[in-house]
Amino acid sequence: MTFLFWFSLLLAFLFGGIKAILDRGTDYFLRDIQQQLQNQQIHLQVEKLGFSLPSYFTLKQVQLENNYHWPLSIEQINIGSLLEIFNIKKLPQNLNINLQNSRLKIPEQHVTAPFIIKALGYDAYFISPAELKQFTATSHIQGDLHLQLKAKEQQLTLTAQFNSQDWGQWQLHIKLEQVADLPNWSKETLMQAQLAYLQMDYQDNGWVNRWLSFVAHRQGILLSELKSQFIQQLQNDLTRSAAPAFIFNALQDFIQQTDQLTIKLQPPIPLSLQQISQIDPNVMAQQLGFSIQ
């Protein structure tokens, strides 16, 4: 009985010591991140940080502010595992990051459509941040975000999922090959990483209809008229660019039904980001194994 008591006490002491060391380590880790963000004109504030044995690093009441007036607040961030965080020489074998109740504030900005949208002729469907607040009747983009990174040798897989009551559900899955270890990361080495697979899924919960209804009201026409105009413009542009017919069919169905959209890229052989940037736009869909439904 005495042995069990002292053994339990020793374990408690060891775990307490480990906790103190890790608390100190996570504090230095956070300061380093804050300094790096400060160099990018981004201010990070964390009300509380710590960890739970054996693996999770936790930040509570996180505030991120920048010069673009889109402040982000996160109720809690859970990051695991600690060993993956502090090993800066290797890609994480299995790193999970959960952002609970993240809130991106929508600024009161009345801005015109970006140049590229105007050049493509779709500025009629653009909405400013101020209009976004108006038709969504909310001041924040709010939801939960889960990220998972897995690495094996030079292969990296990223899975991201964003769930929001107002904005629907987004899922992203990317698989890269020939990825350099972290100490060797640079613009050049990243461009040599090869895309093996990409899939993005969007499950709409009425947001698209609310957006198009707002644009229709702004133009003084019925929603059905706006959708017809939008679809006709897409058809003209895609036909002019010789895009495969399945792309238009999928977009038409999505605009009319506003339910679910899945986009996939799966090249016959993995292609480096450098190779992708040099593909002729006329054959890009084929070479990237592009599909949409």
pLDDT over 70 at 192, yes or no: yes
pLDDT over 90 at 173, yes or no: yes
pLDDT in the model for residue 28: 65
β-pairing verdict for 271-272 and 155-164: unpaired
pLDDT over 70 at 84, yes or no: no
pLDDT in the model for residue 5: 36
> Tens digits of per-residue pLDDT, 90-148?
677 788 888 888 888 888 888 888 888 888 889 999 998 888 888 888 888 899 999 89
Average of per-residue pLDDT across 243-267: 90
DSSP 106: P
pTM of the model: 0.78
pLDDT over 60 at 20, yes or no: no
pLDDT over 80 at 288, yes or no: yes
The whole-angstrom separation of Cα 180 and Cα 199 is 22
pLDDT over 90 at 266, yes or no: yes
The whole-angstrom separation of Cα 135 and Cα 125 is 13
Mean pLDDT of the chain: 80
pLDDT in the model for residue 27: 66
Distance set, CA 268 to CA 156, 172, 243 (Å): 18, 20, 19
> Closest Cα to residue 288, out of 252, 231, 235, 243?
243
pLDDT over 50 at 194, yes or no: yes
Average of per-residue pLDDT across 39-46: 75
Answer yes or no: are the C-beta atoms of 260 and 266 closer than 8 Å. no
pLDDT in the model for residue 227: 94
Instruction: Name the one residue in this structure whose structure tokens are 């194994």.
Output: 289
Residues facing 162 on adjacent strands: 145, 170
Instruction: Name the one residue in this structure whose structure tokens are 């605009």.
Output: 255
State phi, psi for 108 to the nearest 5 degrees.
-85, 70
| Alpha helices, DSSP H, located in the chain | 2-39, 82-86, 115-120, 129-136, 187-191, 207-219, 223-240, 245-257, 273-277, 284-287
pLDDT confidence tier of residue 15, bands split at 50, 70 and 90: very low
Distance set, CA 67 to CA 27, 40, 104, 159 (Å): 26, 10, 14, 29
Distance set, CA 201 to CA 12, 136, 260 (Å): 46, 22, 7
Average of per-residue pLDDT across 49-75: 75
pLDDT over 70 at 1, yes or no: no
Indicate the length of the chain as a whole number: 293
* Amino acid at the residue 240: R
pLDDT over 90 at 47, yes or no: no
DSSP 124: G
pLDDT confidence tier of residue 29, bands split at 50, 70 and 90: low
pLDDT in the model for residue 25: 56
More confident residue, 60 or 52: 60
Lowest mean pLDDT, pick from 4-13, 63-72, 92-101, 240-249: 4-13
The whole-angstrom separation of Cα 275 and Cα 242 is 22
